[in-house]
């Protein structure tokens, strides 16, 4: 089934609810035990009967010496209870029953509760990974509610550049992370197929069709100079047919028909961009056309609603929106004196359409250069009086990408004329490495993409390191078969973990972090956390691998170690899947 092309939508009914990640089993168990301890201290009179339970946290301490989990509950209780935090911590520790998941509760510093888990808790964690398989780490916190994620949304005026690639990767991974957190995700591409840039594209293709080259007299002042313009003109003159999402546009061959050239050029480049994204592993559920906002009267209707709402006024021959009523630093022009609309007006109409189409969350991934327009779009949505939440839409902004090769910056592509294309990068570095490197850093940080590092098969290359760890575990199973050794998973899961081994404890701890890491990445919209986690997990496995022999004759030892290794393989595969990166069985 082809993705939908839409310019229309119907408002869906739902209740807006705050986004809360699903609880993590071990952490939720500990939180419940602390809650019970606080209730017990109220009953005993140690705490005032009317004292509210504070919003304490259960977190993993940075240092292993501080236990497996830590809580600040006692320190938050101390002030309202007018008591010493260490005294409350001691009382809480005594009220928390040992046994089951809890091996010990200790007091540290000014009143932290440090909790150490029992071997049984770690053993159960390992069994959960094997029982849940690909579902391990996923949760239902989204409740099936609709989240629209818009990304790339490049003007169809040329090949996608590396910056578009970063937007594509971040947006795609945000969608994947939200999906893993139980959201019904709609991936959306907003085609800016209207405006001055499209006119410049049409004029550039027309010039080429007339035989005019970029350095000749008569070339459009703001024309596009890349070699791809000649390809578009040639296809138009040859009468080529372009199929874009089920709509066929054919070149007429008439170099004087600027309207036909415009339609053909936009379709041609949309098709090219779709091909580039498909090669990069990026797809969409909805393609929304900017031109439809004008054709369907949505821009005019949005402006009418803003005027009727009393938030617009005329000044200097222009129509203004009082965006200062909604936190903007100054009012903004909506309609200029020449009757044309400023660019933020269709953006307001477009995001209104998302609300009307039932997107409870609307997440837009953009380059940081769009920062200045965000406040006015949100102000416009608030001015409509539709009950749209103040934080709607949510924006994720990315910084620029610098590509290096051989210690020098790579800037140009002959095909594009003035920038390096996404296809150039994928061809040089490979799809997996390109995807990894473009998402591995926080979006608001500048990114240096080292092609030489991305291509290298060395442990300095993070994606190679992670994929090698997965392949190495697969290799253990092949070697076992070659040696005629058996493997019994049930027996392996029954074997006690050697928690006295620092490498074992570090590995099983790292495995157990995956569900909460995935929930946090979804809550913060930060998929780079997944890449960072996978590298840490691979490093933990490498330490374990170096310290242990796997294919030993003693079946209990062999089964136990392989059970832990296979749990690691599962989590590596799950995490790589969230990034859209392959989990190879051999390298």
Residue 17: which pLDDT band, with cuts at 50, 70 and 90?
very low
- Pick 193 or 21 by higher pLDDT: 193
205's tokens:
């293709």
pLDDT digits (tens, 9 = 90+) for 468-506: 999 999 999 999 999 999 999 999 999 999 999 999 999
Q: Average pLDDT over the chain, rounded to whole?
A: 91
Whats the size of the chain, residue-wise? 587
Residue 417: which pLDDT band, with cuts at 50, 70 and 90?
low
Please tell me whether the peptide bond between 393 and the residue prior to it is cis, using omega within 30 degrees of 0: yes
Over range 12-40, report the average pLDDT. 65
| Residues 6 or more apart in contact with residue 215 via CB below 8 angstroms | none
- Number of CB atoms found within 10 A of residue 61's CB: 15
* DSSP run (H or E) holding 423: helix 422-429
pLDDT digits (tens, 9 = 90+) for 123-132: 999 999 999 9
pLDDT the model gives residue 22: 40
d(CA 138, CA 535) in angstroms, rounded, equals 19
Over range 437-451, report the average pLDDT. 96
Place of tokens 């006295």: 500
All structural domains of the chain: 25-122 (3.30.1360.70), 146-398 (3.40.50.620), 401-455 (no CATH), 462-579 (1.10.730.10)
523's tokens:
């809550």
pLDDT digits (tens, 9 = 90+) for 182-211: 999 999 999 888 888 999 999 999 999 999
d(CA 551, CA 475) in angstroms, rounded, equals 11
In Å, how far are 213, 358, 472 from 143, measured between CA atoms? 56, 14, 37
* DSSP run (H or E) holding 27: helix 25-44
pLDDT the model gives residue 244: 84
Tell me the pairing of strands 112-117 and 102-108: antiparallel
pLDDT digits (tens, 9 = 90+) for 342-361: 989 999 999 999 999 999 99
pLDDT the model gives residue 27: 84
What are the strands, taking DSSP E only, across 146-303?
A: 146-150, 184-191, 241-244, 247-250, 286-289
Sheet architecture: strand order including 184-191: 4-6, 286-289, 184-191, 146-150, 361-367, 394-398
pLDDT of 430 above 80: yes
Tell me the pairing of strands 4-6 and 286-289: parallel
d(CA 345, CA 512) in angstroms, rounded, equals 47
Over range 439-465, report the average pLDDT. 96
Question: Are 73 and 59 contacting, i.e. CB atoms less than 8 angstroms apart?
Answer: no
pLDDT the model gives residue 415: 59
Over range 28-46, report the average pLDDT. 91
pLDDT the model gives residue 482: 94
Residue 370: which pLDDT band, with cuts at 50, 70 and 90?
confident
pLDDT of 11 above 50: no
Question: Are 447 and 438 contacting, i.e. CB atoms less than 8 angstroms apart?
Answer: yes
pLDDT the model gives residue 9: 34
pLDDT the model gives residue 195: 80
| Residues 6 or more apart in contact with residue 133 via CB below 8 angstroms | 570
pLDDT of 3 above 60: no
Question: Are 511 and 568 contacting, i.e. CB atoms less than 8 angstroms apart?
Answer: yes
- Number of CB atoms found within 10 A of residue 402's CB: 14
| Residues 6 or more apart in contact with residue 260 via CB below 8 angstroms | 236, 251, 252, 254
d(CA 271, CA 285) in angstroms, rounded, equals 16
Minimal CA–CA distance to 581: which of 280, 163, 284, 283?
280
DSSP 561-581: HHHHHHHHHHHHHHHHHHHT-
pLDDT digits (tens, 9 = 90+) for 151-167: 999 889 999 999 999 99
pLDDT digits (tens, 9 = 90+) for 306-327: 999 999 999 999 999 999 999 8
pLDDT digits (tens, 9 = 90+) for 276-310: 999 899 999 999 999 999 999 999 999 999 999 99
Over range 108-123, report the average pLDDT. 93
Q: At what angle do helices 555-579 and 528-547 cross, to 10 degrees?
A: 160
pLDDT the model gives residue 524: 96
pLDDT of 235 above 50: yes
pLDDT of 507 above 50: yes
d(CA 455, CA 428) in angstroms, rounded, equals 8
d(CA 323, CA 418) in angstroms, rounded, equals 37
Residue 416: which pLDDT band, with cuts at 50, 70 and 90?
low
- Range of 17-26, 153-162, 325-334, 566-575 with top mean pLDDT: 566-575
């Amino acid at each position: 089934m082809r993705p939908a092309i839409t310019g229309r939508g119907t408002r869906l009914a739902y209740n807006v609810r705050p986004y809360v990640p699903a609880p993590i089993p071990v952490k939720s168990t500990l939180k419940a035990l602390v809650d019970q301890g606080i209730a017990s201290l109220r009953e005993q009179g140690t705490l005032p009967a009317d004292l509210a339970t504070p919003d304490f946290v259960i977190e993993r301490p940075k240092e292993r010496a501080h236990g497996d989990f830590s809580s600040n509950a006692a320190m938050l209780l101390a002030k309202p209870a007018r008591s010493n935090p260490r005294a409350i911590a001691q009382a809480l520790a005594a009220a928390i029953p040992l046994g089951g998941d809890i091996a010990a509760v200790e007091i540290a510093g000014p009143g932290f509760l440090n909790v150490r888990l029992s071997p049984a808790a770690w053993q159960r964690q390992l069994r959960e990974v094997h029982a849940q398989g690909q579902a391990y780490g996923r949760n239902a916190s989204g409740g099936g509610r609709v989240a629209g994620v818009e990304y790339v949304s490049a003007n169809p005026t040329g090949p996608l550049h590396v910056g578009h690639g970063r937007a594509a990767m971040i947006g795609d991974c945000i969608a994947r992370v939200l999906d893993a957190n139980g959201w019904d995700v709609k991936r959306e591409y907003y085609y800016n197929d209207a405006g001055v840039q499209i006119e410049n594209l049409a004029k550039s293709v027309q010039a080429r069709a007339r035989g005019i080259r970029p350095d000749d007299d008569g070339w459009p002042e703001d024309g596009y100079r890349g070699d791809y313009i000649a390809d578009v003109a040639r296809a138009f003159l040859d009468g080529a047919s372009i199929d874009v999402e089920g709509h066929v546009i054919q070149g007429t061959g008439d170099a004087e028909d600027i309207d036909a050239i415009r339609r053909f050029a936009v379709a041609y480049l949309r098709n090219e961009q779709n091909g580039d994204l498909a090669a990069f592993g990026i797809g969409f559920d909805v393609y929304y056309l900017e031109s439809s906002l004008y054709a369907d009267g949505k821009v005019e209707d949005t402006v009418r609603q803003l005027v009727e709402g009393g938030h617009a006024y005329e000044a200097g021959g222009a129509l203004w929106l009082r965006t200062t009523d909604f936190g903007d630093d100054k009012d903004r022009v909506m309609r200029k004196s020449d009757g044309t609309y400023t660019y933020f007006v269709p953006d307001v109409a477009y995001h209104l359409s998302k609300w009307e189409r039932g997107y409870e969350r609307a997440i837009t991934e953009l380059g940081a250069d769009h920062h200045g327009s965000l406040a006015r779009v949100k102000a416009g949505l608030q001015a409509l009086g539709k009950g749209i939440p103040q934080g709607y839409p949510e924006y994720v902004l990315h910084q620029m990408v610098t590509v290096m090769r051989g210690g020098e910056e790579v800037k140009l592509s002959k095909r594009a004329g003035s920038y390096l294309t996404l296809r150039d990068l994928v061809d040089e570095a490979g799809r997996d490495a390109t995807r990894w490197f473009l998402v591995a850093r926080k979006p608001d940080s500048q990114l240096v993409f080292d092609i030489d590092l991305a291509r290298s098969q060395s442990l300095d290359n993070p994606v190679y390191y992670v994929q090698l760890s997965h392949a190495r575990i697969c290799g253990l199973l092949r070697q076992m078969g070659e040696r005629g050794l058996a493997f019994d998973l049930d027996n392996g899961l029954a074997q006690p973990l050697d928690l006295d081994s620092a490498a074992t404890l570090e590995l099983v701890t790292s495995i157990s972090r995956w569900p909460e890491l995935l929930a946090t990445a979804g809550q913060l919209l930060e998929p780079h956390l997944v890449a960072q986690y996978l590298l840490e997990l691979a490093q933990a496995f490498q330490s374990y691998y170096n310290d242990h022999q796997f294919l030993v004759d003693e079946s209990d030892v062999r089964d136990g170690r392989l059970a832990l290794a296979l749990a690691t393989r599962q989590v590596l595969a799950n995490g790589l899947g969230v990034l859209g990166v392959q989990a190879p069985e051999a390298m």
